[in-house]
Amino acid sequence: MFIPKYTITNKILKDIGITEAAREIIINAPLVPAWEAKFRKEAIERTIHHGTHLEGNPLSSDEVRDVLEGEEIVARDRDIQEIINYRNVLKFIEGIHTQIGTSGAYTFTIETMLEMHKLTTEKILPPESCGKFRLRQVVIKNTKTGQISYTPPPAVEVPYLVEDLVNWINSDEGKQIHPIIKAGIIHYELARIHPFVDGNGRVARAVATLVLFLDNYDIRKFFSFEEYFDQNPMQYYLTLQAVSNQLVLDTHERDLTPWLEYFTEGVAIELNRVKEKVQRISVDARIKDKLGKQLMLNERQMMIMEYIHRHKALSNKDFRKIFPDFSDDTVLRELKFLRQKGLVKKAGGTKKAAYVLK
């Protein structure tokens, strides 16, 4: 049976504490619905961009956004397909999460993992390899030197190793572990087993995300730990391989602590980043009380608020930067609305007027 070996260090405790504090603020922030939808959309875009870029997809964040919005771009068919596929994986996760909300229970299965892989590799791998465990040995090589950096378990062991992992996820022990630590363990173990011929990293991160959702740790779906991994991919892969290449007699003797320290730090950094953004643009409780109702902002008004939060002020000469396709009169009407609602105020004289937070 799969029994992960690790130590809860002071660093892990500290990062989980940061994560919990950020999570509490994010969950309880009085965001207007339009902002919430915007944050979720951005999180999906970041997850897809960084999750595929980490595996070598060259598309920029703007190109990824264009693909997701149905725009045509000049790129390899495979690169575009990877974006579409990962979006479908996230939709699949969302569907399961919605299912949990109505039924109240869901057991993670091998079939769920295989379906994730099928969605990840559709039109990229041959149909007989999509949603199927690998039947041959694979190795992980350094792309520059060609040197083998890690050799996963033999193909014949893969079904049994995955079954052990799934049983552990659904066990009483697995359910008692903190969701962040459990997600980190699952991510590592799937990367170690390397159950597929391709798409292992994306599936590992997708399964980790799903397990967080299963444990009611969705955090309003605002986060994307892929961005942290993609900022320094070499550290990501070296940390995984350093644990996998430990010289032990039994694979269960591998100490996952270094990886879990890295993983929990990444989650803490990501959620802290989201927390700060939410705090900057969440509707202040005092303003909400004064209005007596939830404030709804349109897209232009949200863009104005975001610009002022980021740059501390908005002057007339800044109008063209954020609204190149709208007249100054249109922008002034939106600013008048925000002033009337007590969100911004006008500072300075007529020639040097600027709008700041009230």
CATH of the domain at 337: 1.10.10.10
Q: Which of 335, 277, 269 is nearest to 306 (CA)?
A: 277
pLDDT at 289 over 70: no
Is there a contact between 204 and 186 (Cβ–Cβ < 8 Å)? yes
Sequence-distant (≥ 6) Cβ neighbours of residue 220 within 8 angstroms: 26, 27, 36, 39, 40
Residue 76 belongs to some domain of the structure: yes
Burial degree of 122 (CB within 10 A; 0-12, 13-18, 19+): middle
pLDDT at 287 over 80: no
Q: Can you give the residue range of the structural domain that contains 212? A: 10-281
Classify 347 as helix, strand or coil: strand
Is the same domain home to 212 and 75? yes
Q: Share the mean pLDDT of the chain.
A: 90
| pLDDT tens sequence across 212-240 | 998 889 998 999 989 999 999 999 999 99
Is the same domain home to 240 and 350? no
Is there a contact between 257 and 264 (Cβ–Cβ < 8 Å)? no
Residue 119 belongs to some domain of the structure: yes
Residue 289 belongs to some domain of the structure: no
Average pLDDT over residues 59-72: 95
pLDDT at 286 over 90: no
Residue 5 belongs to some domain of the structure: no
Domain boundary among the residues 281, 306, 340 is at: 281
Q: Please tell me the distance from the alpha carbon of residue 197 to that of residue 200, in angstroms, as a whole number.
A: 8
Query: What percent of the chain is predicted at pLDDT more than 70?
Result: 92
pLDDT at 118 over 90: yes
Is the same domain home to 215 and 342? no
Tell me the pLDDT band of 295, cut-offs 50, 70 and 90: low
CATH of the domain at 93: 1.10.3290.10
Is the same domain home to 195 and 304? no
Q: Please tell me the distance from the alpha carbon of residue 259 to that of residue 245, in angstroms, as a whole number.
A: 12
Tell me the pLDDT band of 300, cut-offs 50, 70 and 90: confident
Average pLDDT over residues 335-355: 85
Tally of structural domains, the chain: 2
Sequence-distant (≥ 6) Cβ neighbours of residue 334 within 8 angstroms: 298, 300, 301, 304
Q: How many CA atoms within 13 Å lie on the side-chain side of 324?
A: 1
Is there a contact between 299 and 49 (Cβ–Cβ < 8 Å)? no
- Tokens standing for residue 78: 């495979």
Query: What percent of the chain is predicted at pLDDT more than 90?
Result: 66
Residue 162 belongs to some domain of the structure: yes
Q: Please tell me the distance from the alpha carbon of residue 271 to that of residue 277, in angstroms, as a whole number.
A: 10
Structure confidence at residue 24 (pLDDT): 94
Residue 287 belongs to some domain of the structure: no
Residue 25 belongs to some domain of the structure: yes
Is the same domain home to 108 and 186? yes
Stronger pLDDT, 152 or 305, i.e. the higher one: 152
Structure confidence at residue 1 (pLDDT): 82
Is the same domain home to 220 and 245? yes
Give helix 33-53 / helix 61-68 axis angle, nearest 10°. Answer: 120
Tell me the pLDDT band of 91, cut-offs 50, 70 and 90: very high
Residue 4 belongs to some domain of the structure: no
The DSSP code for 255 is: B
Asked whether the whole model's pTM tops 0.85, one would answer no
Residue 150: enclosing H or E segment and its boundaries?
strand 148-150
Domain boundary among the residues 254, 281, 308 is at: 281
Q: Among all chains, which residue has been given the structure tokens 């049983």?
A: 167
CA 199 to chain centre: 17
- Tokens standing for residue 56: 């070598």
pLDDT at 304 over 60: yes
Is the same domain home to 166 and 305? no
pLDDT at 284 over 60: no
pLDDT at 292 over 80: no
Is the same domain home to 103 and 144? yes
Burial degree of 79 (CB within 10 A; 0-12, 13-18, 19+): middle
Give helix 77-103 / helix 110-121 axis angle, nearest 10°. Answer: 150
Is the same domain home to 103 and 57? yes
Is the same domain home to 211 and 311? no
Is there a contact between 186 and 6 (Cβ–Cβ < 8 Å)? no
Is the same domain home to 272 and 302? no
Is the same domain home to 134 and 41? yes
Domain boundary among the residues 233, 249, 281 is at: 281
